[in-house]
Amino acid sequence: MSQLDNPLAIYKLLPKSNCKLCGLATCLAFAAAVIKGDKRLDECLHLESNIIEELNRNIVRQPTPEEQLMQILEPLKREFASIDFAASVKRLGATLSGDKLTIKILGKDFTVDSEGNIISDCHIIVWVMVPLLNYIIYSVGNELSGKWVPFRELSKETVWGSYFEHKFEKPLKQLTDTHPDLIEDMICIFGGKQVENSFSSDISLVLHPLPKVPMLICYTKPEEDLESKLNVFFDSSAEDNLNIDSLYRLCVGLLMMFQKITSRHIRS
């Protein structure tokens, strides 16, 4: 049997009855989940165990997004050997402590050594590590323009705009709807600053995911039949200081931090 390295190759070997007993709506969705590592073949109740064993030997599982980011991390760290930290302080809006750089992410200190190792009192996730190292290596250090623009205006590649909307903006809106305290947490815990209401919103808040990459969150509360609205804007200089894929990943990492905070509120 040849290698099973895509959903279609697995789908061909499934019963194709879409019976939903595996918990997914279709056999194709099941095949995609197997490739991603989210489902095991034995969760399809119609496959014989000897067939499962044979298929398992030939499946090439796709790396998870976290595994893919871990692969990017090491080459980024190697680039640190050529960075002059002292000369980078102004460019990055950082501080130098001994031979280490300290950069604030949402008001919290993240200290980076000359080998790209990151130290912080905060839980450090790879979704934040990769953008932080990219920022240190590649940020041009341009000053802010003061002009707020939506994410999709930063990149000509529409795919990033779509990812951003579905993986950050919409989930953040849902999280804010169900946990209105999140806005206060953004101010108290993450160093957010409420600003004059912008873009006809009820609440406008500026956060600094990185010193030279501020973010404006505009939230309009739900009212009677009207849904809430949440839109995120960046300074028009954002892409000079952080490449677009890192900006997207950083936002996904921030969402994870916000989700963690709100889940603590539920438990307490």
Per CB under 6 A, residues contacting ligand SF4 are 14-15, 17-22, 24, 27, 30, 44-46
Instruction: Give the chain's radius of gyration (CA, Å).
Output: 22
181-188 vs 170-178: helix axis angle to the nearest 10? 110
Q: How far is the CB of 1 from ligand SF4 (least distance, A)?
A: 18
Nearer to ligand SF4, 10 or 250 (CB): 10
Which of 21/60 has CB closer to ligand SF4? 21
Closest approach, Cβ 50 to ligand SF4, in A, equals 16
Q: How far is the CB of 258 from ligand SF4 (least distance, A)?
A: 34
Phi/psi at 207 (nearest 5 deg)? Answer: -115, 160
CB of 101 to ligand SF4, least distance (A): 50
Identify which of residues 47 and 70 has a Cβ nearer to ligand SF4 in the complex: 47
Measured from the CB atom, the residue of 40 and 147 that comes closer to ligand SF4 is 40
**30 versus 164: smaller Cβ distance to ligand SF4:** 30
Q: Which amino acid is at 191?
A: G
DSSP 125: -
Q: With respect to ligand SF4, which residue has the nearer C-beta, 27 or 105?
A: 27
| The length of the chain, given as a count of residues | 268
Tokens of 120: 């912080």
Distance of alpha carbon 145 from its chain centroid, rounded?
25
Rounded least distance, CB 62 to ligand SF4, Å: 18
Residue 262 CB, nearest approach to ligand SF4 (Å): 33
Which helix (H) or strand (E) covers residue 214, if one does?
A: strand 213-220
Coarse DSSP helix, strand, coil percentages of the chain, rounded to the nearest 5 percent: 45, 20, 35
From CA 242, how far away is CA 253, in angstroms rounded? Answer: 15
Alpha helix segments (H runs only) across the chain:
7-11, 27-36, 49-58, 65-78, 85-92, 126-138, 158-164, 170-178, 181-188, 238-241, 244-267
